[in-house]
Amino acid sequence: MIRFVARENVPRWLDFVVPLASVVLAMVVAGIMLAATGHNPLTTYQHIVQASLTQPGALSQTLVSMTPLMFTGLAAAVAFRMRLWNIGGEGQLYWGAIGAAGAGLYFHSLPGWLLIPLMMAAGLLAGTLWAAIPGVLRAYLNTNEILTTLMLNYVAANVMYYLIFDSTSYWRDLTSPSAKVFPQGKNLPAAASWPAFQVGSLTIPFGLIVAVGLAVLLWGMIRATRYGFEMRVLADSPAAGKYAGIRTRRKILSLMAISGGIAGLGGASQVGDFSHVLDPRGLEQAGFGYTGIVVAALARYNPLAVVVTSFFIGMLVNAGFALQGPGFPIGLTGTMEGILLFCVLGAEIFTRHRLEIRLPHARPKTQIPAPPVAVGPARGETS
């Protein structure tokens, strides 16, 4: 018989060894899958490392790929930590991009030091408002937020497509002749481009610095503020939280807004740092919001760990773009993310439990030695 038995004392090293072992297991499983479909796993892994780390410029590209993932990863982590399942990072990021692009176009005559904060504020606000819809529905009508946030992703995508492809909106370029045939967004003014910092050969996008700062801030908020404490109480025991007088509805709504705002900021960074235009197809194909869930789950919803996991998933995503072709099908990225997630999720039980395997024929053996006759009161009994 095989069963899991709760450990009485949990060694600290298990908290590191178990996730590490599960990542190794994931690489072995993915390797078997690659080999079974006629790919050489070792060369594939080697190509991933080359394309995302060692080749010239590869590491800078990985930083580009990880920036939006850190935003959406943080957005998912804060919400999931409170068992608020915001799967709408995708749509909130779209709205952030719409908001930031709108601000960048509208205030085009302003200097960069004023324009960039305005874009950030617009992205944050747009994401917050979009997340407030499922937030209000969950807080006041108890509507399942998993489904509403997800459905709103599709609605947001359609809004974005409408703005660029099916209307004469403010975001659409209507001046150049080519734009009339192939609809595209208006290019943002040069002042709306977020700065990038050069460290040796490495290019660090401004958005990445903002995201790391945000990770530290959120970590501190969860650990050291009254808000974070109340949030953790509600997550682990909603009944206790209510009894202690914590305003549950307000907390759900505010947390949803924070989560949406972070994802919206990610959309702003995407426009300001990289695309400089509202690009519906590019955003939809990238799927930053969904990948952010992987990033958050691998980090076990710890904002600081998101910085690390977004780097590794960023490597994978970047390699996926760079290596696209017969040797590296697009679907491999999601497949490997899924395997990684399953291994890490499944292994979590081993940190608190140990596996006990008892063979059926061994059972009578344990019954043979007669129990010693108890002299005093047995443990646990009171006399």
Residues of this chain that bind another protein (CB under 8 A): 4, 37-38, 80, 85, 87, 137, 141-144, 146-148, 150-152, 154-155, 158-159, 161-162, 166-167, 287, 290-291, 293-294, 297, 329-335, 337-339, 341-342, 345-349
- Closest contact distance (angstroms) between CB of 9 and another protein is 20
Q: Is the dihedral of CA 118, 318, 26, 153 positive or negative?
A: positive
- Closest contact distance (angstroms) between CB of 150 and another protein is 5
3-state helix, strand, coil in the chain (%, to 5): 70, 5, 25
- DSSP secondary structure string for all residues of 196-258: EEEETTEEEEHHHHHHHHHHHHHHHHHHHSHHHHHHHHHHH-HHHHHHTT--HHHHHHHHHHH
Instruction: Using the minimum distance from each CB to another protein, give the nearer residue, 290 or 312.
Output: 290
Instruction: Using the minimum distance from each CB to another protein, give the nearer residue, 269 or 333.
Output: 333
The region, left, alpha or beta by phi > 0 then psi within -120 to 50, assigned to residue 126 is alpha
Per this entry, what is the length of the chain? 383
- Closest contact distance (angstroms) between CB of 77 and another protein is 12
Tokens of 34: 């690659």
- Closest contact distance (angstroms) between CB of 338 and another protein is 2
Instruction: Using the minimum distance from each CB to another protein, give the nearer residue, 80 or 274.
Output: 80
- Closest contact distance (angstroms) between CB of 325 and another protein is 10
Pick from 79, 136, 84, 126: nearest CA to 250: 136
- SS3 (DSSP) at 264: helix
Distance, CA of 24 to CA of 343 (rounded, Å) = 9
Instruction: Using the minimum distance from each CB to another protein, give the nearer residue, 80 or 219.
Output: 80
Distance, CA of 23 to CA of 17 (rounded, Å) = 10
Rounded to a whole number of angstroms, the CA Rg of the chain reads: 25
Tokens of 236: 């682990």
- DSSP secondary structure string for all residues of 104-166: HHHTTTS-HHHHHHHHHHHHHHHHHHHHHHHHHHHHHH---HHHHHHHHHHHHHHHHHHHHHS
- Closest contact distance (angstroms) between CB of 373 and another protein is 22
Instruction: Using the minimum distance from each CB to another protein, give the nearer residue, 64 or 294.
Output: 294
- Closest contact distance (angstroms) between CB of 157 and another protein is 8
Instruction: Using the minimum distance from each CB to another protein, give the nearer residue, 168 or 198.
Output: 168
Other CB atoms within 10 Å distance of the CB of residue 182: 9
- Closest contact distance (angstroms) between CB of 147 and another protein is 5
Instruction: Using the minimum distance from each CB to another protein, give the nearer residue, 88 or 205.
Output: 88
- Closest contact distance (angstroms) between CB of 282 and another protein is 14
Instruction: Using the minimum distance from each CB to another protein, give the nearer residue, 40 or 143.
Output: 143
Instruction: Using the minimum distance from each CB to another protein, give the nearer residue, 138 or 276.
Output: 138
Distance, CA of 27 to CA of 328 (rounded, Å) = 16
